[in-house]
Structure 1
Amino acid sequence: MLLTAQNNSKSSFSNETIKRIHLLSPGFEIEQDLNKNLSFVGNFGFFPAFYSQGGSLNKRREGIVWAPFIDLQGRYYTNFNRRLDKGKSIENNSGNFIALKLTNYFPSENDEATTDALTIAGFVYGIQRTYWDHFHINLESGLMADLNAAQNDSFVLPWVSFQLGYTF
């Protein structure tokens, strides 16, 4: 079965405000168009941080800590004209983008583990599509810098993110 983005096309700048709910990292996202190719994205939610503590397998404790986060992005969509020329939709900003990204994970804990605050920033390349008017898929990859690390310990880390959700 071939998946294609929805049939109606946004062919000119329409100053959309797009709202989404994400399922894998439960959260709420708002994307505001600034012009035809630029948008600003704010995402607020909870990230499942997996942990494993202890030595031997029978004494090991494993679980999930839900870390609250805020993610801000400035996106530039690189292929809207090419998608329109091919008769594909750019509705709900279905397209490829590059973005400047800033994410802050707040500290959290459960009965067995805690997570520290983490702030990362960097550049990502992403592919975003909306199918059947509401089904949202987003895949991002890039390089992020840990802004919490001490100056001697600072490092750049690879970033990959996959989101499934519902677009209003």
Structure 2
Amino acid sequence: MAALLSCYSFSASAQTDVPQAQAGAVESLFNVQAGIVGIYVNYEMPLSTRWALRAEAGLDLWYYDAYKYNGTSVIKDKGTFFAPDISIEPRWYYNIEKRARKGKHTENNSANFITLAVKYYPDLFKIGGPDYIYVPNQISFTPKWGIRRAIAKSNFNYELGIGVGYLRYISDSQFLARRDDVVVDAHIRIGYTFK
């Protein structure tokens, strides 16, 4: 009986010594990323070995091409400005375990993923652009496929993703011709992971 209890206590203590991050499992990550059209801060929380929940806040670069009346005539005005966005997405890193079995690098969630990106653009503020330009309140739901890799096994990373989804304008502006639209969501980013 004493031998059985000592085996049980050895087994229980051995299980608590298992490291938190195992090869081929999704990790908890805090990232800062920059893309062609913005800068973002995000956090990925593991839900299982292949699932993570990602929350993100960022500034997207918007382009405008508008006509304005300058007092005597109508002139064409165009340029860019930054506007905030908030998103949340469950990510399924579907090949992270397969990459680990093949001996490939999986740290920093280096794997391919499928996600449903839910993105909200609040009409809070903008950086740059004229006063008459604004981003109407809108929300989008976009299924996406993507790839994430660490660069040279470092904390630097890159991400690519693409998807087509549904966009809903939630502002009650009289200037919006329609409430629904199709959105193409593509991103190319490079970033750094803080651990």
Aligned counterpart, 1:18: 29
More displaced 10-residue stretch of structure 1: 90-99 or 62-71: 62-71
- 2:29 and 2:43 in contact (8 A); partners too: yes
Aligned counterpart, 2:10: none
1:114 aligns to 2:143 (yes or no): no
Aligned counterpart, 1:4: none
Query: Which secondary structure does the structure 1 equivalent of 2:99 belong to?
Result: helix
Query: Which secondary structure does the structure 1 equivalent of 2:62 belong to?
Result: strand
Give the 5 Å matches for 1:1-168.
10-11=22-23, 13=25, 16-24=27-35, 25-54=38-67, 59-107=75-123, 108-109=125-126, 110-112=129-131, 113-132=133-152, 133-148=154-169, 154-168=180-194
Q: For the pair shown, which has the larger CA radius of gyration, 1 or 2? A: 2
Structure with a larger share of its residues in strand: 1
Q: 1:153 offset after TM fit, Å?
A: 5.2
Distance in 2, matches of 1:154 and 1:63, equals 25
**What is the percent sequence identity of the aligned residues?**
23
Distance in 1, matches of 2:51 and 2:77, equals 45
| More relative contact order, 1 or 2 (CA 8 Å, 6+ apart) | 1
Structure 2 counterpart of 1:156, one-letter code? V
- Which blocks of at least 5 consecutive residues in structure 1 are unaligned? 1-8
Distance in 2, matches of 1:134 and 1:62, equals 38
Q: How many residues align?
A: 155
Q: C-alpha root-mean-square deviation of aligned residues, in Å?
A: 2.4
Q: What TM-score does the superposition give when structure 2 sets the normalisation length?
A: 0.70
Structure 1 counterpart of 2:49, one-letter code? K
Structure with a larger share of its residues in helix: 2
Q: What TM-score does the superposition give when structure 1 sets the normalisation length?
A: 0.81
- Which blocks of at least 5 consecutive residues in structure 2 are unaligned? 1-20, 69-74, 171-175
